[in-house]
Chains A and B, each alone.
Chain A
Amino acid sequence: MSIVVAYKFARDPADASVAPDGTVDWSRARPSISPDDAVALALARQVADASAAVLIAVTVGPAAVAVPQARKSALSRGPSRLLAVADDALTDADAAWTAGLLAALVRRVPDADLLVAGDASADEAAGIVPALVAAHLGWPCLLDASAAERTAAGWRVRQSVAGGSRMLEVTGPVVLACTSDAAVAPVPGMRDVLAAGSKPVDVMALADLGVPGPRPPASQRARPAAPQRRQRRFAGPDAAADLVAALRADGVLP
């Protein structure tokens, strides 16, 4: 059997800047594997090892996701093979298109019965793509999975839920988005990076996948108004009492 792990080569918005007209300048944001997806890669490797499965990575994005450095970055984290769609037409692909393409890649792995993904990407942080992929595949989807083990019929999955956790049993294939602490993502060593260079990579042409392009709704972008905050700081030996007094005087606290 094969296990598939999806990851995104994403930019960190903390490194972006926004012009007054809303244009986002990403030039100082270097894309890398989203931190949550590094966790997904680590968890998927563990699950693949425990179930003697082949681990195959999938990714979708602009041409930069398939350059050698980017490939090695993913393959040094454990997958034995990478399937990618790398086309600059996908630079700002929305969740719907991205998910359709990822599902098409998963279908290229006929014996796959598990897709592992991260909680959310560094840039969009929406946490919706894994569920969309699942809907395309017709597989069930569980978000916030913290552990998974193979059973005779499918999977046993621990899931974090509000206030605690629960164990679920899944018959057949499943899409799991893992919690950000489901596994520790080790920094790949030199040997891992060197080995990654010889692992097979299949870069598919966007047109060959037959996934319709986006129909994103019309939108306009703006920079949010800067917050107007009172900016009062209290110092000195009575700072705490002064702060509480001010909060009460201003009606913030009764």
Chain B
Amino acid sequence: MTVWIVTSDAAVAGLLGLADGVGGGGGTDGVRVVLADPAPGVPVEALASAVARAVAAGPGDVVLAPDRPAERVLAAAVAVALGAPVLSGVTGFRDGAFEVSRYGGICVDTVALGPTLVAIAEGGATVSELVPDVTVSAPDNDAVTVVEQSVGERPADLAEASRVVAIGRDLASDVELARGLAEAVGAELAGSRPVAEALGWGHDRCVGASGVTIAPEVYVALGISGQLQHLSGCLGSSTIVTVNADASAPIWAHSDYGIVGDARVVVPALIVALQPVAPVGEP
């Protein structure tokens, strides 16, 4: 059996881990990486049909792709070409089966290997060296071209972050406050979908069903009520710290530490408390 990884960049540490599990711990033996690497002006999505041809998967093979918009397009092209079902929301591989989070995480399906499968999972951190077995650069046609690229903020890499400070809708106008806390604890800044939309952030900073699923060591949820669609993106965090004025918000059921209160009041106090302790002066 071959495990195929279809990606457009090296942020696939999570997929390599999955591939190792699927392959029975053989590391990268039996793993074939298909890299979509288009020329400037060609979007990754334009390579979909060429990538689908490059994935010469046989019966029982598994094709893994990171859960990012462009790669979902590639994965879909592969799935249709192979006539294979697509598993979205794959969170792990254990005892010979994929674990698939369904319906915002309210239940978990385990899907055994056997038929040819296309599985979409969080790509994970960037690996230092990714040697593709096949590189696809030329689209089948020039139907889609990039004519203008606006560079905004630096893309967030929440998958790499060991700490994340996330804000809810009500804090959209107080983002600098949250940024201050993020800097004080060395965290990446993120948000729920409404706040990401309000601030014009992309999926890369939006945690939850429509953005990224992350599992940092520390997740600080400021003013986040804990809708299912958001929780599904952060429940894997080792520690969840909550600041929320609503003591009955669903997020509290998933919190390790917290303060019931307005984040606008609590966060400045937290930033003060996080200051390095001043050295004790000479007597």
Which residues of A are in contact with B by a Cβ distance under 8 Å?
Answer: 13-14, 16, 18, 22, 24, 36, 94-96, 99, 119-120, 123-128, 131-132, 134-136, 138, 140-144, 154, 156, 159-172, 174, 179-181, 214-224, 227, 229-235, 239-241, 243-247, 252-253
Contact = CB atoms under 8 A, between A and B. Distances in A.
A163 B201 CA distance: 7
A244 B88 contact: no
B60 to A, nearest CB: 11
A18 to B, nearest CB: 5
A133 to B, nearest CB: 8
A234 B2 CA distance: 52
A218 B256 contact: no
Contact of B257 (A141, A222, A247): A247
A124, A128, A171 interface centre (most CB from chain B within 10 Å): A128
A239 B89 contact: no
B109 A243 contact: no
Interface in B243-278: 252-261, 266, 269-270, 272-274
Given A163-B155, A219-B110, A180 B197 contact: yes
Given A135-B81, A164-B153, 7 more contacts: A131-B72, A131-B75, A135-B52, A160-B203, A217-B85, A229-B240, A247-B241
B266 A240 contact: yes
Given A13-B103, A95-B88, A243-B257, A143 B73 contact: yes
Interface string B152-187: 111110000000000000000000000000000100
Contact of A13 (B106, B151, B185, B235): B106
A39 to B, nearest CB: 11
A239 B147 contact: no
A45 to B, nearest CB: 20
Contacts of A245: 273
Contacts of A140: 45-46, 48, 143-144
B143 A170 contact: yes
Given A164-B149, A233-B260, A244 B209 contact: no
A229 B256 contact: yes
Given A134-B73, A140-B144, A253-B185, A239 B112 contact: no
Contact of A125 (B43, B203, B229): B229
B48 A141 contact: yes
B79 interface: yes
20 contacts: A131-B75, A131-B77, A134-B48, A135-B80, A140-B143, A160-B203, A162-B203, A163-B156, A164-B150, A164-B152, A167-B147, A217-B114, A229-B255, A229-B256, A230-B257, A233-B259, A244-B270, A245-B273, A247-B218, A252-B241
Give me the 4 closest cross-chain CB pairs, A-B, nearest first. Answer: A164-B152, A131-B76, A240-B269, A126-B88
Contact of B76 (A141, A154, A218): A141
A131 B47 CA distance: 13
B106 A16 contact: yes
Contact of B104 (A14, A95, A144, A253): A14
